[in-house]
Amino acid sequence: MEQQSSVKSFGGFQNQYTHQSSACNCEMTFSVYLPPQAEQGNCPALVYLSGLTCNDQNVVTKAGYQAYAAKHGIIVVAPDTSPRGEGVADVEDEYDAGQGAGFYVNSTQEPWAAHFQMYDYIVEELYNLIVSEFPIDPERIGITGHSMGGHGALVLGLRNQDKFKSISAFSPIVAPTQCPWGDKAFGNYLGDDVSLRSQYDAVELIKANGYAKPILIDQGLADNFLDEQLKTQLMAEACEAQGVACEIRMQEGYDHSYFFISSFIADHIKFHAGLL
């Protein structure tokens, strides 16, 4: 692991790192915000998964979370959204496939399987790396994300409750087996195996297993992806049927951008702080 940059922010430090990933078979980049409390001992942590076309820097520079992370003493980890680099499969001129569009799954299909193992990368490799290298309490790690990353946060959180003790999301793709983005990505990465696809679908996971803790979701009503791609209502229906305490806040006038995320990031960090 090599540190690439470090900037002081709200008494802590916003850092960026690279490391050679065995899961993704390439160099991966991630960012970590260390609040001032990290100098005194172990802190809770929040993993933030970004959306399509993003890398680790979008949330770092646009969300404005550092002030709230410093207030609550939470370390924030922001990984990249996919493997990248020469030799890594990609689809030219398509933003929703290939590099920048990993969908947080383990690919079983060629040419993707050699590098696109984002589920194992986040849940195993990056998780173990941050716990060993930073002052993080492994019993107090939460997960959140936006859009494709909101899908990732819900799926990884629901499937790995021993590791992620709190879950929230912004504008998540809640049912990727029922929307064009998910159908395209899962077709590329997972093939036609319906049972495998359902393992990466938050609505199907809720239907099958429920969830015992509260979940927070914020969704903008002016989001142009809401009806076709995000399908928030399906999550509301599944959680209601299973008795899951999922608070879905439909925010009037807000779109899919980081203006929306930055408006409510304080609430999400407070939500995780309360559970962690």
pLDDT tens by residue, 231-276: 999 999 999 999 999 999 999 999 999 999 999 999 999 999 999 9
For residue 16, pLDDT over 90 is answered with yes
* Strand ranges (E), 2-49: 2-9, 12-21, 26-34, 43-49
Q: Which whole number is the average pLDDT over 1-30?
A: 98
Fill in the amino acid letter for 268: H
Give pLDDT, residue 114.
Answer: 97
pLDDT value for 92: 87
Q: Would you kindly state where each structural domain of the chain is located, as residue ranges? A: 2-275
φ, ψ of residue 34 in degrees (nearest 5) = -105, 110
Q: Decide yes or no: CATH 3.40.50.1820 for domain 2-275.
A: yes
**For 67-111, what is each residue's pLDDT tens digit?**
999 999 999 999 999 999 999 999 988 899 999 999 999 999 999
Cβ count near 236 (within 10 Å) = 18
**pLDDT per residue over 199-239, tens digit each?**
999 999 999 999 999 999 999 999 999 999 999 999 999 99
The pTM score is 0.97
Per the prediction, the chain carries an average pLDDT of 97
Which residues are known catalytic residues?
A: 147, 223, 256
Q: How far apart are the first and last CA of the chain?
A: 27
The pLDDT of residue 93 is: 86
Q: Coil, strand, or helix at residue 9?
A: strand
Burial of 138 (0-12, 13-18, 19+ CB in 10 A): middle
Percent of the chain with pLDDT over 90: 99
